[in-house]
Chains A and B, each alone.
Chain A
């Protein structure tokens, strides 16, 4: 089975964010980047399916030169090769244009299965997997918690809201978005890191894919949200703060 995992590089979870001049993105120079956590579950699932059914895991990531680091991390974990869709201003693409570019690159590979995370921790559009299915004209299912492959078909456990699940059957090829927590993500081993050095990363310039980048939407500006609630901050040592908080909960909020 040829499995293609889409991985995005995003600012590290605890990276301090400063808004860039122009106001439409963050100041990248200030932050470190890492693999989008939801995508790491998709990658892990791809590696497990390969271990069970054989085949190949190809990872694809779009963005500037730095995303190669994330591709290398995936190769170190066991992916067979990487595709880098190079675009310095990837952050400015709307979801449909980003998906059109990825779909064009993925179509060349004709994978049996395309996996993505459920959303990215930066833009958080949560649309890429579903859009890829639409653009590649493949069936899809989202928020997947279990994949069973038998005889060219899949039985999938899909998470619904409020503790409900559903079994869904799907033919292959297909696109799945993976729910976070489906598996325990592996760490790269030293051996894996060494082996990754010999693995191929193909770079494709996004413009060379010949897809329209006519945007359907634009981020005008990003900003620190206005508070809807006034938060009373309590200071002091841990002991002092604890005392003051309990006092306030008892006599001001009257919830204790």
Chain B
């Protein structure tokens, strides 16, 4: 099976999830006796294509155009469908980033094909690829297969494959320049400046201990309970997205795909169900404690220690235990 990995770059730097997708591509191409290609898309990104060519693959494609300087879903869809016509892959792999979510379904649909999104793994059953993805906010997994002719599209969840296990080639692969034709009138949206909302007040990535609250905390006035526990632990307080959406904690204390990605030595998840958008931001923590009333909450999938119970009893009990033995 010939595999094409669409890498992602911004300002001349690869998004590291690109290496994870390439690692998956190496594995699938090797298992199915296929060839592996990668593509770099943008403007003035030839150096990145050379960097890509050092990865163990059969060819590196360079898709450049004046109109690819800033990302737009229209320009990327048109350019990449031209790359696909030239590279002729059976399977196209992408990292499941916000940008990929913005254009990849459209790219697949423009070719009349489907995409299996946000895959956490795959199995090769006698040459047939079965992709595994999560459903019901991570409460179930699903085995999904492609039907009909290729090319097929699959995007891979961050962390599902090991970018650090990417094999380097003995010598650089050839770099092929894709012919890209784009006209300004084909691009209907106009991208303007990138910005950050506010200077990030707290850098949660540096905190050795984090106390995180989720929907289970129920009301703004209950945040104080968790705050006391955080103080007793010498921890920073953080939250899953819904808590910040409600304004109970500021947005810069959000952990997950739209917030910060952390890996403290201890992460206490209080009343957090464990939706994947949250878990991707904290699953690298050294020790994870989850307290939740629902024994089936997906947060327990990643927890080292779990307590099934009422956080409104357990948070004060933990705070008291710490104060008494400190």
Contacts and interface: CB of A to CB of B under 8 A. Distances in A.
B41 to A, nearest CB: 17
Given A142-B101, A234-B307, A238-B309, A124 B241 contact: no
Given A224-B140, A231-B303, A133 B106 contact: yes
Interface stretch (A74-82, A200-208, A239-247): A239-247
Contact of A215 (B106, B137, B147, B191): B147
Contacts, number: 255
B305 A217 contact: no
Contacts of A123: 135
Interface in B107-164: 108-110, 113-118, 130, 133-148, 152
User: By CB atoms of chain A within 10 A, which of B97, B303, B310 has the most?
Assistant: B303
A249 interface: yes
User: By CB atoms of chain B within 10 A, which of A130, A169, A171, A215 has the most?
Assistant: A130
Contact of A216 (B147, B195, B320): B147
B266 A253 contact: yes
Contact of A245 (B97, B110, B252, B307): B307
Contacts of B117: 95, 125-127
Interface string A6-30: 0000010110110100000010000
B286 interface: yes
Contacts of B133: 124
A160 B194 contact: yes
A26 B313 CA distance: 33
B189 A169 contact: yes
A160 B98 contact: yes
How many chain A residues sit at the interface, stated as a range, is: 35 or more
Nearest to B244: A181
Nearest to A94: B114
Nearest to A226: B141
Contact of B118 (A124, A162, A163): A124
Interface string A82-96: 000000000000111
Contact of A238 (B259, B306, B313): B313
A101 to B, nearest CB: 13
Contact of A233 (B139, B194, B307): B307
Contacts of B135: 122-124, 222
Contact of A217 (B145, B192, B252, B303): B145
B306 A253 contact: no
Contacts of B303: 229, 231
Interface of B (DSSP majority class): mixed
A214 B113 CA distance: 11
A171 B104 CA distance: 21
B195 A218 contact: no
A134 B111 CA distance: 10
A225 B134 contact: yes
A73 interface: no
B118 A126 contact: yes
Given A234-B305, A255-B287, A242 B314 contact: yes
Interface string B274-292: 0010000000001111100
B144 A181 contact: no
Contact of A224 (B113, B141, B145, B305): B141
A163 B287 contact: no
A158 B92 CA distance: 26
B188 interface: yes
Contact of B317 (A217, A238, A249): A238
6 contacts: A96-B109, A99-B109, A140-B73, A161-B258, A218-B145, A231-B304
